[in-house]
Amino acid sequence: MTEPASVFPPCAVGILEDGRLSDQEDIPKRFVIYRGTRMTEGWPGQMIEAQTFTHYNIGGKDFERVSYGSESDDWGANERPCHDCRVIKGEYHVVGCDVERCPKCDGQAISCDCLDEEDDGSTTYVEG
Ligand SMILES: [Zn+2]
Ligand SMILES: [Zn+2]
């Protein structure tokens, strides 16, 4: 809990001016502690925002999103936050999380076909 979150590592400036921006490994990440879990700065905001998306509209029908702990597989929601997006049991995953299930077919939300139809507008996020 004593990490100086506001201090940017001095070397970061050199890296950025060095033009090695394209090398992802060299970009120092800033971390924050949120609910006792270490995560990338800005991520807590994504988690909070994810809770405002309660349904997916798939083919004109609303499907409530599958919250963490409601999956048909046991991802350990009783013991720990989601390993991918860090939400806790009962919360909706951050969109794009690889644990989130599709509410329609129970497949992986990021890879199933139902939620793949955003391009033609048939799948949208519904704020609730
Ligand atoms: Zn997740
Ligand atoms: Zn699906």
State in Å: Cα 112 to ligand 2 middle: 5
Alpha carbon 80 to its chain's center: 15
- Residues 58 and 128: their CA atoms lie apart, in Å, by 16
pLDDT at 23 over 90: no
State in Å: Cα 72 to ligand 1 middle: 14
Residues 66 and 90 in one domain: yes
Residues 31 and 47 in one domain: no
Domain that holds residue 20: 1-41
State in Å: Cα 40 to ligand 1 middle: 14
Number of domains observed in the structure of the chain: 2
Phi, psi torsion values for 31, nearest 5 degrees: -115, 150
- Six token digits for residue 115: 């939620």
DSSP string, 31-86: EEEETTEEEETTHHHHHHHHTTEEEEEETTEEEE---TT-SSS---TTTSS-TTT-
Residues 108 and 64 in one domain: yes
53-107 pLDDT per residue, tens: 999 999 899 999 999 999 999 999 999 999 999 999 999 999 999 999 999 999 9
Residues 36 and 60 in one domain: no
Rounded mean pLDDT of 4-8?
Answer: 50
Residues 122 and 82 in one domain: yes
Question: Residue 46 CA: which ligand is closest?
Answer: 1
State in Å: Cα 7 to ligand 2 middle: 43
User: Burial letters for 40-78: b for 16+ Cβ neighbours within 10 Å, e otherwise?
Assistant: eeebbebbeebeebebbebeeeebebbbbbebeeebebe
- Six token digits for residue 29: 């990440």
Phi, psi torsion values for 16, nearest 5 degrees: -65, -40
Indicate yes or no: pTM above 0.75.
no
